[in-house]
Structure 1
Amino acid sequence: MLDRDGYGQFCPVSMAAEVLCTRWTMLLVREMLCGTTRFNDLRRGVPRMSPALLSKRLKELEKAGIIVTVPRGGGTEYQLTPAGEDLRDIVTGMGFWGTRWVESQLSLRNLDPSLLMWDMRRHLNPRPLPPRRCTIQFQYPELPQKQRNWWLVIDGADVDLCGFDPGFDIDLLVRSSLRSMTTIWMGLSRVRAEIDAGNMELAGDPLIAGAMQQWLGLSPFAVERPRVAQVGA
């Protein structure tokens, strides 16, 4: 019997869509493809998703054979199956398509400090930083107090994100609007350009400040946008 909520078509596209196109599902797959395996870490990658809905989607993905649950360290990890890993090119392609073709000003309306910082944390490149523990504070003055300050603590290859003061000396303070930091991360601007425009201030170790574009890097979905011809041009 066909699912009354499904498309009712034998086409493989429709069958895949029934599994993957429910709300939040592809974002959960994105998080797991980035290496996230724990429930609480998944929540940090999709901060606007309720815990109840997250649990439901995880069960649906497991039923569809896309993930498996693995007991580990007194808790549970969610790991992609070969079917889940096979979605990597699809998710990457969607990300590149969105960066190239969705209007940047539209995407910049959806600013989210927790998602931005979590994404920056997992892609940060520690190699340009001094070979010691480094603590970098990001401050977004326009945000409410509870969302204003974030800390990245880098110790070798380990990078931790804190939403509270970790108690270490600050090596670099990055004071910026959330919009400016997001445009840099998405490859729409650069650190130097935002500083010159007065949208960003760096205070602290000049070597860490000077290498910010290198250790920060870019979103894996940052690509050059094509110029779209205007009608009648």
Structure 2
Amino acid sequence: MGSTYGQFCPVAKAMEVLDERWTLLIVRELLMGSRHFNDLRRGVPRMSPTLLAKRLRRLERAGVVRRTGAGGRTAYDLTPSGEELRPVVEALGAWGVRWVGDLGEEDLDPHLLMWDVKRTLPLERWPRGRTVLAFTYTDVEPGVRRWWVVVDGADVDVCDVDPGYEVTASLTTTLRTMTEIWRGDRAWTDAVRGALLAIDGPRDVARAVPDWVGISTLGAVPRPA
């Protein structure tokens, strides 16, 4: 598994497996339900496919990940050893929310934001028929400025090309503002009242959109006073 710390301490031995760049983020993606290579890539969009494959092989050798299937249908699942990392990853996420709040421009990624939105939407709050939300991020380049979230029952799709459906409501904001809302750093109501986010749609729909989208799984972590 590469270099060692030369210590018998269990923390040191654990870090020999886990402290390579990207490794715990791959575990995070697996814990969030990603099982296939392309889904894992969407969760770590700035990681090269070659490096992702390398890290998966190392996690497999360490007994953290189990690979099943063959060819294009290869799947990756956490072993019991990997599942035991859930509270570790959740604790790190909570610590990051509480104590590492600064977001640089390099931390803002519309692909990762919309992927995280897709997999954690509270679908039980959405209408039963097809509902389409159109997002426009005014502070990013045109190629990644517009996104559509399509919810139809239990099916969720996120598109960066217009899917051609009637839009239920449109949201216009900056990528930074939406990221702050998603992280729980800024309340939906504060963003709307402060004219940082505009929701265009029927009044009842506009009122419901914040509840439909919600915030990330770590967004409710309380901040220090």
**Structure with greater proportional helix content:** 2
Q: How does 1:80-99 map to 2 (within 5 A)?
A: 80-99=78-97
Cα distance in structure 2, aligned partners of 1:226 and 1:134: 37
The AA in structure 2 aligned to 1:55 is A
Alpha-carbon spacing, 1:107–1:50, altered in 2? closer, same or farther (3 Å): same
1:107 matched residue in structure 2: 103
Question: Post-superposition shift, 1:186?
Answer: 1.1
How many residues align? The count is 223
SS at match of 2:128: coil
SS at match of 2:66: strand
Alpha-carbon spacing, 1:226–1:170, altered in 2? closer, same or farther (3 Å): same
1:79 matched residue in structure 2: 77
Partners of 1:129 and 1:208 within 8 A in 2: no
Question: Post-superposition shift, 1:207?
Answer: 3.0
SS at match of 1:107: coil
Partners of 1:133 and 1:155 within 8 A in 2: yes
Quick check: 1:66 aligned with 2:58? no
2:211 matched residue in structure 1: 214
Question: Post-superposition shift, 1:20?
Answer: 0.5
TM-score with structure 1 setting the length: 0.91
Question: Post-superposition shift, 1:138?
Answer: 0.8
Alpha-carbon spacing, 1:149–1:131, altered in 2? closer, same or farther (3 Å): same
Q: How does 1:63-212 map to 2 (within 5 A)?
A: 63-71=61-69, 75-102=73-100, 104=101, 106-107=102-103, 109=105, 110-212=107-209
| 201-210 or 180-189, which deviates more | 201-210
1:231 matched residue in structure 2: none
Alpha-carbon spacing, 1:39–1:211, altered in 2? closer, same or farther (3 Å): same
Deviations 1:89-131 (A, max 9, x none): 00000000011111x2x23541111111111111111222221
Unaligned runs of 5+ in 2: none
Tell me how large the CA RMSD over aligned residues is.
1.6
Cα distance in structure 2, aligned partners of 1:209 and 1:86: 41
TM-score with structure 2 setting the length: 0.94
Cα distance in structure 1, aligned partners of 2:2 and 2:214: 46
Partners of 1:128 and 1:211 within 8 A in 2: no
| 207-216 or 141-150, which deviates more | 207-216
SS at match of 1:153: strand
Unaligned runs of 5+ in 1: 228-233
| 26-35 or 65-74, which deviates more | 65-74
Deviations 1:4-55 (A, max 9, x none): 7211111111110010110000000000100000111111100100010011
